[in-house]
């Protein structure tokens, strides 16, 4: 007996007693079984900038939780111990209910809850239930994801989410197919659906010799710019991790790539390096709106929700204060 899981484009046909490619969704008695439902690998209060989200409640801390498993097979995964290598049996952990997690987030004083660290999409049902519980307590919801989801499921999920950071791991379908065992198109579809429904920021981990050419990053920036020049694009430096031994991204190369992307977008940021492009200036008048040093953030250039230089509203700029 088999059952099909339609959450992500892997569209696994799962045999009874076996798991899909994510390792967390399985089949039992001809139905999808969720043995990892409510099993949390990590919970922590993080600066929202760590997601990274630079234009959504800048300077605030958000209660963040992670799960196990992932739908892609990135050989450079920076969180492989919880995404791919996890040896945690569901029997070794106690599930936490969505209501309990939302209550913990509320009690922590956070303005919201972030689903992050590993891939939340493969925990689709739990994320929705927890987002509902969070919103019932007046909390915001954040999704940090690879964006690898079937279109109907993505549209459904976005109804429950207030802000998303989507990993655009490359702008090459070959790279997605060869290195990640996935496809580019579903991720682009999810980005398109996300920008019209919720606050959206995009991240690319820039890996030398793999996805780091100025031509490729400029193409990705061009795609994002067609959806909106004010969508923040984060370019993060890669460090060797998991199966990859490619040398780390040079800060100078990352900044050069970011400057090229800035030809097309108003907000391009560098991450995982010291310094770089981290501050936010008003795209209309150049006034410094937000300064960042590491995870220290100061919102200095707004007065009553408007740019103190030219009066442009934070909504127009695309910043949720």
Residues 55 and 314: beta-carbon distance below 8 Å: no
DSSP letter for each residue of 280-299: EE-TTT--EEEEEETTEEEE
Q: Is 11 in the site for ligand SF4 (CB under 6 A)?
A: yes
Q: Is 71 in the site for ligand SF4 (CB under 6 A)?
A: yes
Residues 258 and 277: beta-carbon distance below 8 Å: yes
Query: DSSP assignment, residue 320?
Result: B
Q: Is 44 helix (H, G, I), strand (E, B) or coil?
A: strand
Tell me which of 3, 21, 158, 282 binds ligand SF4, using CB under 6 A. 21
Tell me which of 8, 258, 277, 290 binds ligand SF4, using CB under 6 A. 8
d(CA 50, CA 62): 10
Q: Is 7 in the site for ligand SF4 (CB under 6 A)?
A: yes
**Which residue, 84 or 264, has its beta carbon nearer to ligand SF4?**
84
Alpha helices in the chain (DSSP H): 80-83, 98-107, 124-136, 151-158, 173-179, 185-195, 214-227, 251-261, 314-317
Q: Is 271 in the site for ligand SF4 (CB under 6 A)?
A: no
Q: Is 282 in the site for ligand SF4 (CB under 6 A)?
A: no
Q: Is 180 in the site for ligand SF4 (CB under 6 A)?
A: no
Q: Which of 122, 118, 116, 107 is nearest to 141 (CA)?
A: 116
The interface region with ligand SF4, picked from 4-12, 130-138, 168-176, 180-188 by CB under 6 A, is: 4-12
Q: Is 3 in the site for ligand SF4 (CB under 6 A)?
A: no
Q: From the CB of 70, what's the least distance to ligand SF4, in Å?
A: 8
Partners of 47 in the β-ladder: 61
Q: Is 182 in the site for ligand SF4 (CB under 6 A)?
A: no
Q: From the CB of 41, what's the least distance to ligand SF4, in Å?
A: 16
Q: Is 22 in the site for ligand SF4 (CB under 6 A)?
A: yes
Per-residue binding string, ligand SF4, 108-127, x by CB under 6 A, is --------------x-----
d(CA 292, CA 296): 6
Residues of this chain that bind ligand SF4 (CB under 6 A): 5, 7-8, 10-12, 20-22, 25, 71, 122
């Amino acid at each position: 007996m088999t059952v099909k899981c339609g959450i992500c484009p892997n569209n696994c046909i799962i045999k009874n007693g076996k798991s899909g490619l994510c390792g967390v969704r399985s089949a039992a008695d001809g139905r999808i079984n969720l043995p990892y439902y409510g099993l949390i690998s990590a919970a922590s209060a993080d600066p929202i900038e760590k997601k990274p989200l630079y234009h959504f409640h800048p300077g605030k801390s958000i209660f963040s939780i992670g799960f196990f498993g992932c739908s892609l097979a990135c050989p450079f995964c920076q969180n492989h111990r919880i995404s791919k290598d996890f040896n945690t049996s569901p029997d070794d952990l106690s599930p936490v209910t969505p209501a309990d997690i939302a209550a913990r987030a509320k009690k922590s004083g956070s303005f919201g809850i972030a689903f992050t660290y590993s891939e939340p999409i493969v925990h689709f049902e739990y994320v929705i239930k927890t987002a509902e519980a969070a919103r019932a307590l007046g909390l915001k919801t954040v999704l940090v994801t690879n964006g690898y989801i079937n279109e109907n499921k993505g549209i459904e999920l976005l109804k429950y989410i207030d802000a998303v950071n989507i990993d655009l791991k490359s702008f090459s379908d070959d790279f997605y197919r060869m290195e990640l065992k996935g496809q580019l198109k579903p991720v682009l579809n999810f980005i398109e659906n996300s920008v019209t429904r919720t606050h959206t920021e995009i991240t690319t981990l820039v890996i030398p010799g793999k996805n780091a050419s100025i031509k490729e990053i400029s193409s990705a920036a061009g795609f994002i710019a067609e959806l909106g020049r004010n969508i923040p694009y984060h370019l993060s430096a890669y460090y060797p991790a998991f199966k990859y031994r490619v040398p780390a991204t040079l800060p100078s190369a990352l900044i050069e790539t970011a400057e090229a992307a800035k030809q097309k977008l108003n907000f391009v940021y560098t991450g995982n390096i010291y310094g770089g492009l981290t501050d936010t200036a008003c795209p209309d008048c150049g006034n410094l709106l937000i300064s960042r040093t590491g995870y220290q953030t100061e919102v200095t250039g707004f007065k009553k929700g408007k740019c103190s230089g030219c009066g442009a509203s934070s909504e127009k700029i695309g910043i949720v204060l």
